[in-house]
Structure 1
């Protein structure tokens, strides 16, 4: 009589985790994208130049992990910050990884608000000396009336004579579909412009991360934006009540090229900014649009700064 054959169970090897599997996307973003020390210095320098005093309260819209707000508070004990973001999970990551380890240093000087920046109750919050919307975050608003509504919110959230900072990019290559890779110490940062619609100026971009073991974190972040122009932003800022809307353009320098290359050197951003009124078009550019809120007039209007 033949008996049943018992199949041997094969031991399966547990898949080895890659560096991409182990990576924390928020940590990668902070290292690759953000430069909070430089931003805080820029805010403070421009505010002091235009207002003759030092800013104390920063409001960071679309604050994410609140790294910028944290840096603002850590650099000066007299400073306070308010971070606003609608993503609860990202805010919680910021609380655990940024705020809690620095609790003794910052005390109660940093407040996080989970809310849509369009819906924040500005009457319940102290007016800020500086409001910042960085990393092109406001480009999530694709319709003019919605962006205008947001800028009205920013205006209301500022203290008298406060300044608003908006970071924007553009240039001839801003509408190309292309990838740009930047090597960092522990990984490569890849910025992909995946699509651009010239009828609506809608642009879809992705951030990928690549690691030394060959693994890749695909579409770690995806952005579906409208690429607003400086002109459109200036017009809307003036329309909601701002005055003296200034453009601070990143300075560039020519990269060195090999002697046997006849082409002109490429222009590379220096990380330094200067106010400009006329500038030549570039393949790519980065600016801060700085809008001034007027001093309140006791009669109910506003006075020019």
Structure 2
């Protein structure tokens, strides 16, 4: 790793999402095992990884066999350094699969209408929200996250691909899920408007002849005329979701209940649902390293030792880019508390939800999948609603709470 790569380590400390899961995007697409968190609970020392782990990673990379090109990962020239957010989306997320289940859950537990209004908490680059808007022109989306860099990247790389009305149907907020009303609306200019603007000597000359200062910082909000969620008109939400295990960022039970109360407050009085995911199994409480090989990069998911007293662990996400011969160590790093399903159910009921449902599926034994290629594992495994479920090496769950 060169000096430039080492310098990138500290600025990335506030980045918030990391995951390892297997996906199949389709009408009943599913995710295998995903992990995400936020700087809500990231501590200063959690990015340090021993020399032994780095040597083990290098040994793993030397043993891999490069696979053929893949349309999902072959989107950047060999000399360009892709964004860590792009790498994350390509190796982790499956928005079509998640949306398929969200629609299914809504029709099962609410029914009577089509869900149109989504809120994605801990949204990161809001890829799920972007896909939600793409599926129906009547739909709206709200995204909330503490990572301003991820939100800006979303508007520059995801929302602009939806269509002419994409910007008008989404509201992205920068803030804490525990204080959602204080979150600030991210302002931006649609591409259609920017096409009518020419830049001259650091001034903006519009077609009407007026002069304005050049926007700085991309799509970020300025310090003047800030709009907060508390005074911005928004539709009641049909669905609120918190995926990629983001609720594990909240380490205290009181915070978890408070968050669930905020969710309940924004759901439609006509009926709505909150959906989150969770993982578990014997492999979730031990040190674990997994990797997946793609056409242009290798994705590493690293789980540190598990503290059984606080039920906390540290997760680190790394990328090794073959063509660039560079490593993004700790592209995403964070700490979380691994909640149990009964704890989540108790907190949801305490917050005021009427019913809670568990949809689970067993995962392939992690001892058999330390190294994989692409998304080739677990394609035929579907989630099923269960009342009881015996402990396994690894399992994944959707938790559906009905308002």
Assess, with a 3 A threshold, how the Cα gap between structure 1 residues 202 and 19 changes in structure 2: closer, same or farther: farther
Alpha-carbon contact 1:117-1:150 (below 8 Å) kept: yes
CA drift of 1:87 comes to 1.6
Assess, with a 3 A threshold, how the Cα gap between structure 1 residues 227 and 253 changes in structure 2: closer, same or farther: closer
Within the candidate set 56, 67, 74, 2:116 is matched to 56
What residue is the counterpart of 1:7 in the other structure?
none
TM-score under structure 1 length normalisation: 0.81
- Between Structure 1 and Structure 2, the one with more strand by share is 1
CA drift of 1:111 comes to 1.1
Alpha-carbon contact 1:20-1:211 (below 8 Å) kept: no
Where do 1:103-118 residues align within 5 Å?
A: 103-118=163-178
Within the candidate set 355, 377, 394, 1:244 is matched to 355
Assess, with a 3 A threshold, how the Cα gap between structure 1 residues 284 and 20 changes in structure 2: closer, same or farther: farther
RMSD: 2.4
Secondary structure, aligned partner of 1:195? coil
Cα distance in 1 between the residues matched to 2:305 and 2:82: 27
The structure with more radius of gyration? 1
CA drift of 1:47 comes to 0.8
Cα distance in 2 between the residues matched to 1:112 and 1:168: 24
CA drift of 1:252 comes to 5.1
Cα distance in 2 between the residues matched to 1:21 and 1:98: 19
Cα distance in 1 between the residues matched to 2:163 and 2:124: 18
Cα distance in 1 between the residues matched to 2:321 and 2:156: 26
What residue is the counterpart of 1:289 in the other structure?
399
What residue is the counterpart of 1:147 in the other structure?
256
What residue is the counterpart of 1:44 in the other structure?
103
After superposing the two structures, state which structure 1 stretch, 89-98 or 48-57, moved more: 48-57
Q: 1:33-73: CA deviations, max 9, x gaps?
A: 11001011110111112222321100000111111000000
CA drift of 1:195 comes to 2.6
TM-score under structure 2 length normalisation: 0.62
What residue is the counterpart of 1:156 in the other structure?
265
Where do 1:108-147 residues align within 5 Å?
A: 108-121=168-181, 124=231, 125-147=234-256
Secondary structure, aligned partner of 2:172? strand
Cα distance in 1 between the residues matched to 2:146 and 2:117: 21
Within the candidate set 87, 95, 100, 2:147 is matched to 87
CA drift of 1:106 comes to 2.2
Secondary structure, aligned partner of 2:241? strand
What residue is the counterpart of 2:157 in the other structure?
97
Assess, with a 3 A threshold, how the Cα gap between structure 1 residues 286 and 106 changes in structure 2: closer, same or farther: same
Secondary structure, aligned partner of 2:390? coil
Assess, with a 3 A threshold, how the Cα gap between structure 1 residues 127 and 277 changes in structure 2: closer, same or farther: same
